[in-house]
Amino acid sequence: MPSFSMDCIVNRTRFLNAKLADGTLADLTVAAGRFSAIAPAANTATPPAGAIDLAGQLVLPAFVEGHIHLDTSFYGDAWRPHIPCTNGFDVRERVAFQMRNLEQAAPMAERAKNQLELCVGNGSLAMRSHVMVDADVGLKHVETILAVREKYRDLVDVQLVAFPQSGILSSPGTAELLDEALKLGCDLIGGLDPASFDRDVDGHLDVVFGLAERHGAGIDIHLHDGGTLGLFEIEEIAARAKALGIGGKVAISHAYALGDISPDALAKAGEMLAASGVAIMTNAPGNHPFPPVAALRKAGVTVFAGSDNIRDSWWPYGDGDMLNRANMIGYRSGFYEDWELESAHDLASHAGAKALGLEGYGIAVGAKADFVALKAEHVPEAVVAVPKERTVYRAGREVARQGRMTR
């Protein structure tokens, strides 16, 4: 009688000699796409048939790309020289440059595919993308990115934010389009600088929170305004989130003002954000103040990371590698000790998963077997060295190696 293995019946895979974040070696068993067992490495002389020997590579949960723009990147397209604003940083002018560039760009689906595969290749298997909605583009961007998301649904989890890039009140018809975008399948409602762009904080937030309540959607608002103006908007967003009891479903992206206020004001803001459950996303931009990560985390605020723009009309940088983003945030934050480097990694992993509300995240029994294996002794070294030699697994199956998709 021919022999057979029960592993074949339950679709089980064993990963041997994986180095966990605590430095121990373990054998991981994956069944039905989740970790079914994690045990000390057996170090057997003859590995079981079909087992994958990770040979002491560090195993980390797949990275979380907390903020990206799949519809506006030029990655893989022709190089677009950066156009500087005429008077410092101006959101309206940057939006105008973006619209001009997009008219000459390759098809959106192709550019989105390029950027998505770049991120997956580097180990991000969950992401949140903001997608432009306004009176000029209507729902075209949303429809295109929804189709791309569907095509890649087995490889990466993508949340979509209906993003009013041209404002809401200052762009007639946008509120209705945002409503339709949520009906089509967007997961969150976005916003943009209620004070400086729409010049009506209450009116802007009335639309955003009203749509969120109507659709049971999350909220993620772009906020570039600095100083006391930006702080006032943060206070208004936090107050509404707390009043509606939707803490954990609201995020503020960028929140430059938190890096542009006094220590006392920051301490009060941290307490307020923690109490309201509003998360803060940062990409540690090179020429702006950014939220003080350590102080906010100490206050109990969920701070997570994203690439934001990748080679688009806002800046030419970005590589889709969240481990490199953790390195950048750590560098700009003055993180040197091991525990600080581990916190930088947390922004691109567990904190990101919390902010996005991901289920079954991490290296634990019962969690989804979405992970990255790379050559590093521990998490601090991974953050500092950013090793490119890595393999990415989705539900226990290899999907990328050395930065390139294999599925």
pLDDT 10s per residue in the chain (407 long)? 333 343 443 578 999 999 999 999 999 999 999 999 999 999 877 778 889 999 999 999 999 999 999 998 888 878 877 777 787 667 777 777 676 766 777 899 999 999 999 999 999 999 999 999 999 899 999 999 999 999 999 999 999 999 999 999 999 999 999 999 999 999 999 999 999 999 999 999 999 999 999 999 999 999 999 999 999 999 999 999 999 999 899 999 999 999 999 999 999 999 999 999 999 999 999 888 999 999 999 999 999 999 998 888 777 888 999 999 999 999 999 999 999 999 999 999 999 999 999 999 999 999 999 999 999 999 999 999 999 999 999 999 999 999 999 98
Its pTM stands at: 0.93
Mapped onto helix, strand or coil, the DSSP state of residue 124 is: strand
Question: What CATH superfamily is the domain 6-61+361-405?
Answer: Urease, subunit C, domain 1 (2.30.40.10)
Nearest-CA neighbor of 291 among 384, 226, 205?
A: 226
Q: What is the rounded distance in angstroms from the CA atom of residue 317 to the CA atom of residue 307?
A: 9
Q: What is the rounded distance in angstroms from the CA atom of residue 383 to the CA atom of residue 375?
A: 12
Nearest-CA neighbor of 57 among 405, 401, 351, 407?
A: 401
Q: What is the rounded distance in angstroms from the CA atom of residue 177 to the CA atom of residue 155?
A: 29
- Alpha carbons within 13 A on the beta-carbon side of 167: 18
Q: Which helix (H) or strand (E) holds 10?
A: helix 6-10
CB 50 within 8 A of CB 13: yes
Nearest-CA neighbor of 374 among 324, 305, 308, 338?
A: 324
Q: Which helix (H) or strand (E) holds 303?
A: strand 303-305
The CA angle 69-369-33, to the nearest 5 degrees, is 110
Domain ranges of the chain: 6-61+361-405, 63-356
Nearest-CA neighbor of 361 among 346, 347, 349?
A: 349
The DSSP code sequence of 147-213 is: HHHHHTTTT-EEEEEEE-TT-STTSTTHHHHHHHHHHHT--EEEEE-TTTTSS-HHHHHHHHHHHHH
What is the architecture, at CATH level 2, of domain 63-356? Alpha-Beta Barrel (3.20)
CB 303 within 8 A of CB 351: yes
Nearest-CA neighbor of 36 among 364, 395, 360?
A: 364
Q: What is the rounded distance in angstroms from the CA atom of residue 261 to the CA atom of residue 225?
A: 12
Q: What is the rounded distance in angstroms from the CA atom of residue 110 to the CA atom of residue 25?
A: 41
